[in-house]
Structure 1
Amino acid sequence: MLYGRVGEQDRIDRMLSSARAGASGALVIHGEAGIGKTALLEHAAEAAGAGRVLRTVGIESEMELAFGGLHQLLRPLTDHLDRLPEPQAAALRSAFGLTGEAVRNRFTVGLAVLTTLSEAAGDEPLLCLVDDAQWLDQASLDALTFAARRLHAEGVVMLFAVRDGARGTQITGLPRLRLEGLAPAAVDALLTARIADLSPYARDQIIEQACGNPLALLELPAALTPEQRAGQLNPVTLPTGLSSTSNRIQEAFQEQIRRLPDATRATLLVAAADDTGDLGLVLRASAGSGAVLEDLEPAERATLVRLTENTLSFRHPLIRSATYQDAALARRFAAHRALAAELEGEQHADRRAWHLAAATTGVDEQVADEMDDVAQRAGGQQGTASASAAYERAAQLTADPARRARRLAAAAFTSAEAGQFDRTAALTDRINALALDPAMLADFARVRAIVELDHGSPGRAARILIECADRIGSGPDLEPVLTEAVQTAHSSGDRELIAEVAARLPASPDYAVARALTDLHGAGPHLPVPQPPAADTGFAERILAGTYGQLLADHATAHEVAVACVRDCRAQDVVGWLHTALYLLAQAELSMGLHEEAYAAAAEGLTIAEHYGRNHRASYLRATLATLAAIEGDRERCHSLVEAALDYADAHGIELAAAHALRAQGLLDLGLGQAERALEHLEAAKTRVNHPMLSVFLLPDLIEAAVRAGQRERLEEPLALIGEWAVAARRPAATALARRCEALTSPDEEAERLFETALRLHDDGAQPLEKARTELLYGEWLRRARRRSDARRHLRAALEAFEKLNAQPWAHRARTELQASGETIDQAGQPGVLLGRLSPQEREVVRLAASGATNREIASQLFLSPRTVGHHLYRAFPKLGVSSRADLPRLLGQGQPQTGGERW
């Protein structure tokens, strides 16, 4: 029976009730040790009734074993692996060590967890209980929280119990429930029911020290002698001087352990050092000291441990901790060595190495090499946090300064890959950079720059890379450092810093793109033609090439580069570059009018960036999503995304991201006909990036806003700059934008020629939104010139394109102009109008369903469960006026897909 937790129990009961109706939910229950988190999980297990319950428990000594916690949770569902899509099944088999293959993609593991749980849920809810989540290995925690954040309509409930002040309390994106101490009435009821022989004085002392902690209320009395329980207490009987209730409880457990026979304590120490719970292993490792099974009986009678035929488990994690901490250091070392001696064979190599490392002080090259092997195996399984810990321990055991520096650098690099940036910063501070060769020095600098980029400022990150480039001087390791320096300097928007990087770029053709990106005017009359780089080029250089193509309006090249980068990042599981590649892909698709695809890429990129703490790139991705919302006229979503992007960008000096966010706000204002507000936001954006190559993306909007606001006197510099850019870029799309901008400010006899030229150049189809805007502006000009028939032709083309792109504010403007020209508009049933009724997630699901993708294929692409996909379609169909997915292609103007017989 639980005391004083009625509200908390009700909340869990409501989650389970909703799950029986098909909904899903997740909850992080947190509080100090002993506060009742595990008891609430047990209540949930009982309340689940006929529902299936899966469990896993974090064990502190197992934190470095990648995917161990996840394997424990999903072991009862291994028969479901064959029902998963093959990439997901392969990912789980690799994670669990069932094959010799490495885990290729950690997100596929997370998606496989989501799909597995969805498939396993039946009419009764599926309940997943994760206790002591703060001690789960990072790979398991990442996969489980990834799945938990995407639960929607599967009938699954996930509960995480986490101790305050520990790593697991950093779980974000999930609802939280904090457990406080019990109220006085509940304390009284608990003590009355469970502890009958306390004197009033002893009872009062226990209540004072326990601070409402249920475990303390039960365990502090257990540490007292019968005389003390009767009231013979002195001021130091209870551990009053300890800093927390958890420490008081642990001290109480230690008092109980110290009363046990020596042989029992010795065997318990081996069990505490072990992480498997294997009773046979514990007894074999203890045999050297003459221990036998009967030695554990006193601990079992004291309810400190639970024994089965094959397992030994501590009743509470603090008992394990109390046992281990109370033992002398030499005894702990002996316990680890005894366990290592019993762990033979390749399958136990990692545990054996960790036990040897735990029993070693000073340096030991043999153990260091074993830990290095552990790190490499963990990295191959995508357990980057585990790999980092192993590399660090290997470094601590290494005598040679150069090898130690390399291992610390590897620890820093893998911790950055795991998103543990505070740890990365601490590790880099310990590295002697003088001991690194050029290749390691380059990696070291890039890791430091990643930390600075995501938690500091791009300006400081660029300076780290500049200093590294100066130390390297020349050679093959210089190019990736300078390439990233160009991109981080760009992000700062600092013209002088960009010039510093430019001054260090060699004259070699290999740096032609980097030079062009740093100096529009100094690159010659024409900029180099964008080219897709070779497949074996590094990701930094490939992203730079794609960015260059995007800035020169060569969106096809940018798209080709981005698609290849995303594909290769997925295949090689290079998560550190995947969110950046997805950002480039979203930008290219946005320019090409592939708005739904751009939304999918940007949303996925933001998910990854947030998951791994890549806050710098997240600000850009939010700005991209804000731009898409602006085009659609979704004011609330646009404002929210702009605000979030600006909050982080302003605090960290990410001026280019701030400019993109402000441009999104200006574009929304411009579409809504608020020209003066648009001009204010767009000029603010331009001042953030006072560099020619970085500001061209917003110039067409700024020029149109200034013309509409009647402030043509502010256009001399923007018009000159966009003209120079068009000449240097030599791309039809760039020249079309320049001619359109010139038309807006030219006399009538020139304007018509310029508009016609712009439309002819737009015919390459590179920028459908921009072509539609040119049609609209030309149609407006023709209507004002009283050429209504000519105007209607261009306005109809604009309206059709805007409707297709779901650009609602612009469609409204085109519609209004058409009506003013004397044309009657019937907008019912237009795809853009219909799609405007859906949420962004529903639109993306509908688009993929219309293309013929099955629910499982859609789920894999959008990181959802198949049940959630079906739920979105079920909700979307009535809004679209259709009854099945077979109607979607006709509605959206696509061909007939093969639907595989699914209705939704």
Structure 2
Amino acid sequence: MIELRGRVRERDQLDRLLKDVRAGQSRVLVLRGEAGAGKSALLDYLAGHAPTGRVVRAAGVEPETELAYSALHQLVAPLLPHLDRLPEPQRLALATAFGLAAGRPPEALLIGLAVLGLLAEAAVEQPLIVVVDDAQWLDRMSEVILTFVARRLDAESVALVFAARTPADDALLTGLPELRVEGLPDADARALLATVLPGLVDARVRDRIVAETRGNPLALLELPRDMDPAFGFGAPGLSSLAAGASSVGGAASPAGGASSSGGAASSAGGASSSAGEAASFAVEVRSFEAGVRSFGAGASSPAGRVEGGFERRIAALPADSRTLLLAAAVEPVGDVTLLWRAVERLGISPDAAGPAQAAGLVEIGARVRFRHPLARSAAWRGADAAELRAVHRALAEVTDADRDPDRRAWHRGHAAVGPDEAVAAELEGSAGRALARGGRAAAAAFLERAAELTPDRNRRAARMLAAAQARLASGAAAAVPDLLAAVEMGPLDPVQQAGVERLRARVAFVLNTGHEIVPPLLAAARRLESLDPAAARETYLSAVGAAINAGRLGSVDRAGGVGSLDRAGDAVAAPADAGVLGRAIEAAAAAPVGDEPAGLLLASLIIWHREGHAAAVPAFREALAAVPADSELDLLWLTGMLVHEVFDDEAFQDRTEQAVAFARAAGVLSRLPGALTFRSTALIYAGRFADASDLIDEAAALARATGPAPHPASAGILAAFRGRTEEALALIDELSRDATAGGVGWLLSTAGYSKAVLHNGHGDYAAALTAAQEAAAYEDLAVLQWTLGELVEAAVRAGAPRVAAEARDRLVARAAAADTPWARGVRALADALVDDTESAYQEAVTQFAASRHKVQLARARLLYGEWLRRANRRGDARDQLRPAYEAFTTMGAEAFAERAGRELTATGETVRKRSPGTAEELTPQESQIARLAAAGRTNPEIGAVLFLSPRTVEWHLRKIFTKLGITSRRELPTAVGRA
């Protein structure tokens, strides 16, 4: 059993974690602290108090950060007997990732779901404790998948505990529950120090050591071992100081007799020390303090000092011992047999291990264990290039090429001095195996080294281009431009040149969707015209898309024929500069046309810019119809916008739902956050606020594992419709800052629209008018018609009839070109507000009832009910206001519900609060599970959709049954429908 000195707070938290896990809950914790702070000891404490045999462990190893799944394999290998219990897609994904089966390269999301299910199955009989040490050195794929699992654990009786260093540079772990592991309290630090300081040492010396180490346990244990004997350090010096302290303090010598000749005690009958001897001792104390300061020189932290101490101890070893220690550091698995074979190749006797073990640097038993990862780092980093290459060469020679070809290739790659095609080919083969397992980051690392060792310039360029493609696929887009610059140093054939330009364009669009990226995209597209016309059109489409995103910040010249309007309705001129959008459109229009989806989408945007919205609607529809389902994810950034331009609410709902379903099924982790963001917007307008909130939260959580988070546009729109002023304004301000910083003016219009919704909901029509006017001054795709609707309502209620009429005319012109229930409803409601006619209100309600925009239906009823109440037709008003109030309340549109409630009260009706005991008591996640179960989905199917383990789904269903007062799944459809 592990016993710790101090650490009461930390032990209490770990004990609570174990208690929760034993009770059936899952818990995640990140122990965060500097090197040597005691994180590993706390992990040992946790493992020692866990159920016997129910602990699986892994640790990141610095030399292995580029080997895909190396840490994950350590954790999963003991659990593979449970693999057969997983659904087939998950089972195959995990088996493929670990090279146990051949199959399609698995996406990280699917592997993550498989690991989640595997942990849940392993914890069925008793709780499972999963411990991951040195998380800062996890390979990329292991880190992504384990972080995903950590964010989805719920009711599986699994504890997942990481130990990671500070400062935190692992963005993936950010946001998980943390326990800061600081230095020991002063009393505990002194007690620990006393275990390694022989005899009595002057209090000033102890104070100095405790202060220098800041209570870091490893530093407290290692610092005295590294003291320079020249300063009185080491065993002889410490003994001398102890004896001196004994004499000065008048206490008995620890040895019970006279001190040595170097001590301060007098040999003349035990007399007290003379003044001269006391002065001598003071000099020794100062020397000791100088040694402490020397130890810390050049190191900014106790961990740095300890690593410096390890380096000095390694440097003091015999040459053969240093080489043996280096081999142990470079061989990351701790395989003793492999180490001895490598050492033999190096011509070193096993006896060379003795000095390294005696120095407390390493233990060599059944496995190789370093005193601390800092000792491994010191051995590895302190070696010169020739020594390191020799060790890698020896390890490569003794590594089995059949059993472990990738590690052998990795060693050979680091052992090579100059170009070597045989080694490069071997590394390329390892890259192919990594790609087959879904390890794109590892494949990129293998390919980069392979390119460096390739003697043929053409082949070198091809391998570097493949490395760049793998880096982009792994989510590391920022690393690609440097790789492409290296690619272009070699001769490229036309196909390779096209690949470079296409990749550069894709990276540019990923890294920056604002106006600054448009010129580079246009240049790339022009170069691609003669190399790959289809790729050229895709790149022109990206350039036009970036210009559309830039909006007003790219000096876009389109303002729907009308600039911004002041309160009196006078037009304010829009920018006259053609801007980046105009230049992008004209460049694209000169390129060869194509009938593939990208070509049709590009052609429709050219029409839109040149001839206006009405002329573009048929082209938009044709292009949308040409986009196949399997391309939806790639083009969702545009198709998700164009469905608004054609007022197709069916496509808006169906396409976003299909995109999410495809991303989930394929496990495309990098694309899912964007798909979830678009889907959440569709759900907002469908009145499913709770579901939209779930997806927004999921997108943000997933984005932490894949790169930059989606912009908060959906979150801002949702908060605005909910009427939560403080939350909404904070999100809208954040959106505006992001838009300005990134040069994405489209988001500024979204921010203005959201603010208009918020203020209209609260009845603050003057503020809504200001926000809507600013946003409607520019023709931003997918936003303008929504903004114009808010502008009409705000202007009518704020007493600005000219502004309302102008906005109505613009909106009606757009709706007339589309002629769908959504468009007809929008047109009728605008006419009703401006012309004050009942038939138009009735038409708006009828048309929105035929659409899937339930928010718009409720708002049309509210506006009609307000009109009826003002006409003193209270009974008719109640017939409209009552369903509007109920709909808003069910959705969670708090401000609109309050507004409808006030109107209902004014008609003489008592507004009833919702009665408890119905499905609104369910959490959003429980609501999702209930609906899926009611639709006949099994627990594994629900888990696959929501990225939960089947055990967690079962746990939630039990709670759902209790809340709904039912006892079986057969009752769910009725209960959910009733709710």
Same fold (TM over 0.5): yes
The amino acid of 1:274's aligned partner reads E
Shift of residue 209, structure 1, vs aligned partner: 4.8
Q: Which residue does 1:493 correspond to in 2?
A: 551
**Is 1:357 aligned to 2:413, yes or no?**
yes
Q: Which residue does 1:156 correspond to in 2?
A: 158
Note closer, same or farther for the CA distance 1:292–1:658 as it changes in structure 2 (3 Å cut): same
User: Matches of 2:223 and 2:886 in 1, distance apart?
Assistant: 76
2:436 paired residue among 373, 376, 380: 380
Which range moves more in the overlay, 112-121 or 530-539?
Answer: 530-539
2:20 paired residue among 14, 18, 21: 18
Shift of residue 317, structure 1, vs aligned partner: 1.4
User: Matches of 1:448 and 1:812 in 2, distance apart?
Assistant: 46
User: Matches of 2:731 and 2:968 in 1, distance apart?
Assistant: 33
Q: Which residue does 1:74 correspond to in 2?
A: 76
Q: Which residue does 1:452 correspond to in 2?
A: 512
Instruction: Report SS of the residue matched to 2:144.
Output: helix
2:297 paired residue among 241, 244, 262: 241
2:926 paired residue among 839, 842, 846: 842
User: Matches of 1:98 and 1:526 in 2, distance apart?
Assistant: 52
Shift of residue 63, structure 1, vs aligned partner: 1.1
Q: Which residue does 1:659 correspond to in 2?
A: 749
User: Matches of 1:775 and 1:203 in 2, distance apart?
Assistant: 78
Q: How does 1:661-676 map to 2 (within 5 A)?
A: 661-676=751-766
2:625 paired residue among 508, 532, 539: 532
Shift of residue 745, structure 1, vs aligned partner: 0.5
Instruction: Report SS of the residue matched to 1:27.
Output: strand
Q: Which residue does 1:227 correspond to in 2?
A: 236
Shift of residue 69, structure 1, vs aligned partner: 0.6
Question: Given that residues 12 and 44 in structure 1 are in contact (C-alpha distance below 8 angstroms), is that contact kept between their aligned partners in structure 2?
Answer: yes
Q: Which residue does 1:774 correspond to in 2?
A: 860
Q: How does 1:284-303 map to 2 (within 5 A)?
A: 284-291=341-348, 293-303=350-360
**Is 1:476 aligned to 2:478, yes or no?**
no
Note closer, same or farther for the CA distance 1:18–1:592 as it changes in structure 2 (3 Å cut): closer
Note closer, same or farther for the CA distance 1:13–1:513 as it changes in structure 2 (3 Å cut): same
Question: Given that residues 642 and 781 in structure 2 are in contact (C-alpha distance below 8 angstroms), is that contact kept between their aligned partners in structure 1?
Answer: no
1:306 paired residue among 363, 383, 393: 363
Shift of residue 862, structure 1, vs aligned partner: 1.9
Q: How does 1:408-807 map to 2 (within 5 A)?
A: 408-420=464-476, 423-424=479-480, 427=483, 432=488, 437-453=497-513, 458-473=514-529, 475-494=533-552, 495=556, 496-506=579-589, 508=593, 510=595, 511-517=599-605, 519=608, 522-523=611-612, 525=615, 527=617, 528-530=619-621, 531-535=624-628, 539-541=633-635, 543-570=637-664, 572-592=666-686, 598-615=692-709, 618-619=710-711, 622-633=712-723, 638=728, 641-642=731-732, 644-686=734-776, 689-691=778-780, 694-746=783-835, 748=836, 751-762=837-848, 764-787=850-873, 790-795=876-881, 798=884, 802=888, 805=891, 807=893
User: Matches of 1:116 and 1:638 in 2, distance apart?
Assistant: 40
User: Matches of 1:441 and 1:428 in 2, distance apart?
Assistant: 9
TM-score by length of 2: 0.81
User: Matches of 1:771 and 1:489 in 2, distance apart?
Assistant: 34
The amino acid of 2:235's aligned partner reads P
Shift of residue 196, structure 1, vs aligned partner: 1.8
- Show CA shifts across 1:834-883 (max 9, x none): 44444433333333333333444333322234454455455556655656
Shift of residue 522, structure 1, vs aligned partner: 1.3
Question: Given that residues 264 and 299 in structure 1 are in contact (C-alpha distance below 8 angstroms), is that contact kept between their aligned partners in structure 2?
Answer: yes
Q: Which residue does 2:936 correspond to in 1?
A: 852
The amino acid of 2:738's aligned partner reads Y
User: Matches of 2:433 and 2:685 in 1, distance apart?
Assistant: 42
User: Matches of 2:545 and 2:409 in 1, distance apart?
Assistant: 41
Shift of residue 341, structure 1, vs aligned partner: 1.5
Which range moves more in the overlay, 69-78 or 509-518?
Answer: 509-518
Instruction: Report SS of the residue matched to 1:66.
Output: coil
- Show CA shifts across 1:632-664 (max 9, x none): 556676556545544533443333234334433
Q: Which residue does 1:898 correspond to in 2?
A: none
Which range moves more in the overlay, 209-218 or 539-548?
Answer: 539-548
Shift of residue 483, structure 1, vs aligned partner: 1.8
Shift of residue 886, structure 1, vs aligned partner: 4.8
- Show CA shifts across 1:649-701 (max 9, x none): 344333323433443343244334343343344334435x5547642222212
Q: Which residue does 1:339 correspond to in 2?
A: 395
The amino acid of 2:581's aligned partner reads I
The amino acid of 2:626's aligned partner reads P
Instruction: Report SS of the residue matched to 1:48.
Output: coil
Note closer, same or farther for the CA distance 1:810–1:210 as it changes in structure 2 (3 Å cut): closer
User: Matches of 2:636 and 2:216 in 1, distance apart?
Assistant: 56
User: Matches of 1:169 and 1:735 in 2, distance apart?
Assistant: 47
The amino acid of 1:227's aligned partner reads P
User: Matches of 2:874 and 2:489 in 1, distance apart?
Assistant: 72
Shift of residue 172, structure 1, vs aligned partner: 1.0
Instruction: Report SS of the residue matched to 2:520.
Output: helix
User: Matches of 2:977 and 2:192 in 1, distance apart?
Assistant: 67
Note closer, same or farther for the CA distance 1:18–1:450 as it changes in structure 2 (3 Å cut): same
Shift of residue 301, structure 1, vs aligned partner: 4.6
The amino acid of 2:220's aligned partner reads L
- Show CA shifts across 1:179-199 (max 9, x none): 333343323211212332575
RMSD, aligned α-carbons:
3.6
User: Matches of 1:837 and 1:694 in 2, distance apart?
Assistant: 34
Instruction: Report SS of the residue matched to 2:448.
Output: helix
User: Matches of 1:409 and 1:680 in 2, distance apart?
Assistant: 51
Which range moves more in the overlay, 101-110 or 536-545?
Answer: 536-545
Q: How does 1:321-340 map to 2 (within 5 A)?
A: 321-340=377-396
TM-score by length of 1: 0.87
Q: Which residue does 2:91 correspond to in 1?
A: 89
**Is 1:283 aligned to 2:372, yes or no?**
no
User: Matches of 1:89 and 1:297 in 2, distance apart?
Assistant: 46
Note closer, same or farther for the CA distance 1:802–1:5 as it changes in structure 2 (3 Å cut): closer
Number of residue pairs the alignment of both structures matches: 880
Q: Which residue does 2:245 correspond to in 1?
A: none
User: Matches of 1:444 and 1:139 in 2, distance apart?
Assistant: 24
Q: Which residue does 1:864 correspond to in 2?
A: 948
User: Matches of 1:876 and 1:682 in 2, distance apart?
Assistant: 42
Q: Which residue does 2:122 correspond to in 1?
A: 120
Instruction: Report SS of the residue matched to 1:338.
Output: helix
Shift of residue 113, structure 1, vs aligned partner: 2.6
Instruction: Report SS of the residue matched to 1:55.
Output: strand
The amino acid of 2:642's aligned partner reads Y
Q: Which has the larger radius of gyration?
A: 2
Stretches of structure 2 that go unaligned for 5 or more consecutive residues are 228-233, 241-283, 557-578
What is the aligned-residue identity percentage?
Answer: 37
Question: Given that residues 719 and 741 in structure 1 are in contact (C-alpha distance below 8 angstroms), is that contact kept between their aligned partners in structure 2?
Answer: yes
Shift of residue 351, structure 1, vs aligned partner: 0.8
Question: Given that residues 555 and 591 in structure 1 are in contact (C-alpha distance below 8 angstroms), is that contact kept between their aligned partners in structure 2?
Answer: no
Which range moves more in the overlay, 38-47 or 135-144?
Answer: 38-47
Shift of residue 437, structure 1, vs aligned partner: 0.5
Instruction: Report SS of the residue matched to 1:160.
Output: strand
Note closer, same or farther for the CA distance 1:650–1:10 as it changes in structure 2 (3 Å cut): farther
Shift of residue 110, structure 1, vs aligned partner: 2.0
User: Matches of 2:963 and 2:748 in 1, distance apart?
Assistant: 36
Shift of residue 285, structure 1, vs aligned partner: 2.0
